[in-house]
Structures are given as structure tokens and as C-alpha cells.
Amino acid sequence: MEQLPYLFNRLVADRRSVFPVQFDTSRKVADDIIEQVLINATWAPNHGQSEPWFFKVFTGKGLERFAEIQSRLYAAHAGSQFKKDKFEKLLATPLLASHVISIGMKRTTTKQIPEIEDVEAVACAVQNIYLSVQAYGLGGYWTSGGVTYFEQAKEHFGLGEQDRLLGFFYIGHVKIPSPSAKRASIEQKTEWVRE
């Protein structure tokens, strides 16, 4: 038991974003691992036990469907901002992952909970996903790019008008590890009040 805090501290410090181009595309993650990762996500803190998260998992041929959805939406709504290379990236990148999970926030309407608290709860759930992926020795990446903020995207990911799409989490086996990271000293980010 004495090692548990040390192991947890290492898990937190070693967590990295691993981008889809770093994944080993020849290997797939078992669905039961993804299911456990999502179970771990649901143990995130949330106001009034509202559990505002909603996940939609794409894998196998579902990755092609996801790629088609987001590239089609982008082409339809980018207007003068359309870029062919971005369109092609939206088509190709999902196919590098073993699984892609849409991160949704279902708005709590039965209680007087500010929207930001639902968003924060989902962000906590995503941190649990990150730590779980790290614990399994996998790579993961949370992106809010692509069609995340397109109002028209919500319906494709099981979300309603008051809900929010908060991005996508890509998971795969790591082929190319991410480099070590640094953080500012805790003294620069903390003030103690003792009296």
C-alpha cells in the first residue's frame, strides 16, 4: 500500500498526449479495455450526481463513418474558410486510431446546476480517461478541433440542442512515445494562507 501514492504520482506525471500519427495502426485495443476506461470516466466528480457525460465510441468500420461525418460537416459549413488539406486530414486521421470517442455533455435540466459545472464534470471524466489510458500503456489524445463546435454536429453524436460536444478522444497503441514534459514550479502557481 505504501507504493500506491508513488505509483499514482508517477501515473499523473507520466501522462502525455499521444497523437494519432504516433499510434501503431497494426494493433487494435480490446473493446473491454475501452469499456473499463469509460467506466473509470464515470467515477468523475459531478454536481448533484448529474453524470452529464455522454460518450459515443467509434471503432472498426465505425471509424470510417466518423471520418465521413466530420469531413462532410466541415465541407458543408466551412464556407470561405474551407481548406482541402484540413478536409483530407479529417478523413484520414480517425483511421489511425483504434477507437475514437466523442465527448458529449448532456445538460442537466432537472436541477439548478450552472452549465459550467456540467462542463467541468465532463472534463474531470476526460482526465480519468487520460489516466486510465496511461495505466493501460496506451496512447490517447483529446482534441477539440474538427467539427467540435459546429452546432450541426451534435445530432450525429447523440446530443440535443442544450447539450455540448466537447471534442473527441483518440486511443491507440503507442508506436512513437511522446517526449517528456515540464511544468512550472508549484511555487509559481500556488499561494499558501496559513493565518
Of the listed ranges 49-58, 105-114, 122-131, the one predicted with least confidence = 105-114
pLDDT of residue 114: 92
pLDDT of residue 110: 75
C-alpha cell, 144: 477539440
Provide the pairing of β-strand 138-143 with 99-105: unpaired
C-alpha cell, 128: 480519468
- The arithmetic mean of pLDDT across residues 59-78, rounded, is 96
Tell me if 7 is assigned to some domain: no
pLDDT of residue 1: 64
Helix (H) or strand (E) holding 81: none
Q: What percent of the chain is modeled with pLDDT above 90?
A: 91
- The arithmetic mean of pLDDT across residues 125-150, rounded, is 97
How many structural domains are present in the chain? 1
Helices 115-135 and 31-41: angle between axes, nearest 10 degrees: 140
**Residue 161 domain boundaries:** 18-177
pLDDT in tens, 108-126: 877 789 999 999 999 999 9
- Residue 164: beta bridge partners? 105
Tell me if 111 is assigned to some domain: yes
Cα atoms in the 13 Å half-sphere on the side-chain side of 135: 16
Instruction: Output the domain CATH number for residue 125.
Output: 3.40.109.10
pLDDT of residue 109: 79
- The arithmetic mean of pLDDT across residues 15-41, rounded, is 98
Tell me if 160 is assigned to some domain: yes
Tell me if 31 is assigned to some domain: yes
Residue closest to 171 by CA, chosen among 113, 131, 112: 131
- Compute the residue count for the chain: 195
